[in-house]
Amino acid sequence: MDAAGDFVLDELGTLQFERLCVELLRLDVDGAESYPWGLSLRLPEGVDAPGAGRLDGPALVLVAWIRPGASAAERLHEVVADALGWTEARSLLLATNLPDAHAALPPGLRGVALGPAELWRLYAAAPAVRFRVPTALGVADLDTLVPAEAAQRSTADVAAAVELARVFVPTRAYLETLRVLERHRFAVLTGPPEMGKTAIARMVGLAALTDGWEVHECIRPDELWSRFARDRRQVFVADDAFGSTEYRPDAAERWAVELDGILRAMDDRHWLLWTSRPAPLKAGLRRIHREHGVERFPQPAEIGVDTERLDVSEKALVLFRHTKAAALPHRATELVQAEGWHVVSHPHFTPERIRRFVARRLRELADGSSSTDVTALVAEEIREPTAAMAESYRALAPDHRAVLLALLDAPLGPVSERDLAASLRRHSPAELSRPAAEIVDRLADHFLRPLHPASVTWVHPSWRDLVIDELAHDAPARRAFLHACGVHGAALALSTAGGVAGERALPLLRDDGDWDALADRLAELVPELDAPETTVVLATLVESRRGTTGAERSELDALATEMLERLARAWAAVPGSLPVGLLAEWLALASELPEQPPLPALAATWVELAPTGPVDLGSAAEATAFDDWTVLAELLHEHDPDALARFGFPGAQMGELATYIDRAWVEIDSPARDTIVRSLRRIARLVQPLSLDASLCARRFELRTAERERREEELVELRPLSPELERLLEQPLPSRHDDEAVVARVLRDL
């Protein structure tokens, strides 16, 4: 790599270049003097110069970012001469963004100059600095930093992370995330939309990727487990684990069941970053605490990182990086410098709004607005970006809007071409004017982002929110969507805790006609639904009912009753047993209703699950089957004890239950131990004569598991926080001026 040509330090500006050099040179900046070009630091005891040994003291360290141009070299000479003129020094360490920095060293003074080539070598050899100063990843040749094997194994959207690196600012929330990861190996990023949760997670992943870690983005726990490898370093990003912009209770339940095991699997070589808006996170934590207990899952205050707090310098740097990356004409740059304080100080400032403002409207403002109305227009763009977004959506051709509406009725996460095509067939039976792939390509960058190899996602969740709101306010389109939707569209219609602050509920159910359309569609879907799809609808109905009152509650009760009755009839018509987890969802919804419908026929399920002989506890399949049977017994004990008595429980199965406990005493190291413990706990609750034995056996398993975990923790050496990271967290970005001066200083380097 040609470091001088590809490590483009000119794009960093003074403050970001300063931070990079401070980290690379491991400088203690106490006592440093701040100047428009950087900082000056006098070290009486001398300083270690990379590649040149010790420079005798008193040594002068200059970190100088010089605006490139015809007179840049001359300006650097002036900076060096002025600094030496004010400070007695026997040696000089100079770090600058200009090539040929050695020419600025004065004769007769021992000096070392670090230009882009030398700084690149230091950066490439310092993974820890790449974590703490990911800013420089956006101006480096990442092909030379990212190991090919790690990139090939990763399943994350690396291309999006690379694009993000050009504009990313390592805020205090980012540094706090690193601190939490180093201590807990698990961090929850909370905050409202548009504040950079996903950006932080992706940049941690990109920095890790340059150090040989794999990076995986996961929508569901099974995706994490399928990629988990104990012998490899891996970062997992569960991006908005509870859904896209709506709370998805089925997704929360999946994470609640698995998270205890996932957290125990995290260590020095495995990290998990979880992003979520506050409302879904709190609802999910209630389930996790109920299932596993508070002691098994840290409270959010212990592992959470709030992305909502940005200080003035961070906002200024966000604006600077987006403007710098956009390569705008000179008039637009001047506009940013003139209006920078109004942009940065605006109460509705968010990184995403600034991205859209710079990418879409800044050129227009620079080309066509008079100086008298620019301030008002800038404020309007930041305050109400959805107005311009809505105009963009309404200006689309019908085929383009059809693709965006179809995405609302698709599974969570990146949508494959196959799923998008299926949704389009439901919502656009007439043939499109051009292939869907071509339409997606035309919507790319503004509304959608194509992903390799053949899927698509939203550029940002706020675009999905906007399409939902537009659909909700268009009665004919809303009704057509409900008549044609699949299970994911139905879940959207019934969703709660959506929107920016979790305030949106039942977005597509605004009048009686909407409720009728959804009821008709669900009646059509019931015979076609598989178990996971049925679970989505049932879990969403439970959550929706809890979040509504009055007329909406009555409508939901009627819809839920009809859904449960249709499911019971459909199950009765098909031979074989029911999945116990699905039955639990059915009963959970039924128990919420004022009048509970009759239970489905369960005799076939009982007969198939009930043990007829000893259970092989070394077999995960047999242990799971027995566990399903105890779940069914517990469900009947709670919801229909008479049916449980008719099956002869527990007397008819007392021998099999006692044998199970006896075998569990000797299968203490079974790989199915978690399943066995759950079964033993249920036996203790349901079968009084065996309660003590089952409880003692379950406790023995738990003690053995705790002992194993202690041994594993002893093998993992907890890394102390680096002094540099501690210092960065404790100190704000240095500035001796007021907020407006900070903004002016940052934007001066454009």
Q: What are the Cα distances from residue 188, in Å, to 144, 184, 263?
A: 31, 11, 12
In this prediction, residues 371-376 reach a mean pLDDT of: 64
Contact 405, 423 (CB under 8 A): no
Contact 680, 694 (CB under 8 A): yes
Residue 560's Cα: distance from chain center in Å?
Answer: 32
Which domains are delineated in the chain? 3-124 (no CATH), 127-306 (3.40.50), 392-592 (no CATH), 613-715 (no CATH)
Q: What are the Cα distances from residue 299, in Å, to 46, 267, 303?
A: 46, 19, 7
Query: pLDDT, tens digit, for every residue of 675-711?
Result: 898 999 999 999 999 999 999 998 888 888 777 666 6
Q: What is the pLDDT of residue 284?
A: 60
Query: pLDDT, tens digit, for every residue of 390-413?
Result: 887 888 888 889 999 999 998 877
Residue 434 structure tokens: 């051009």
Say if residue 298 is preceded by a cis peptide, omega within 30 of 0.
no
Q: What is the pLDDT of residue 280?
A: 57
Q: How confident is the model at residue 734 (pLDDT cuts 50, 70, 90)?
A: very low
Q: Is the pLDDT of residue 303 over 80?
A: no
Query: pLDDT, tens digit, for every residue of 197-252?
Result: 888 999 999 999 999 999 999 888 888 999 999 999 999 998 766 555 666 666 76
Query: pLDDT, tens digit, for every residue of 155-209?
Result: 988 888 888 999 999 988 899 889 888 888 888 887 766 678 888 999 999 999 9
The H or E element that residue 47 is part of is: strand 47-49
How far is 163 from 160, CA to CA, in rounded Å?
Answer: 5
Query: pLDDT, tens digit, for every residue of 509-560?
Result: 999 999 999 999 999 999 888 888 898 899 899 988 888 888 899 999 999 9
How far is 61 from 40, CA to CA, in rounded Å?
Answer: 6
Rounded percentage of the chain residues whose pLDDT exceeds 90: 39
Residue 177 structure tokens: 């995330």
Choose between 590 and 384: higher pLDDT. Answer: 590
Q: What is the pLDDT of residue 464?
A: 87
**Treating both helix axes as pointing N-terminal to C-terminal, what angle do 580-592 and 550-572 enclose, rounded to 10 degrees?**
150
Residue 591 structure tokens: 């128990």
Contact 281, 242 (CB under 8 A): yes
Can you point out the beta strands (E) in 341-483?
A: 415-416, 448-451, 455-458
**Treating both helix axes as pointing N-terminal to C-terminal, what angle do 312-326 and 13-25 enclose, rounded to 10 degrees?**
110
Q: How confident is the model at residue 716 (pLDDT cuts 50, 70, 90)?
A: very low
Looking at residue 526, its amino acid is V
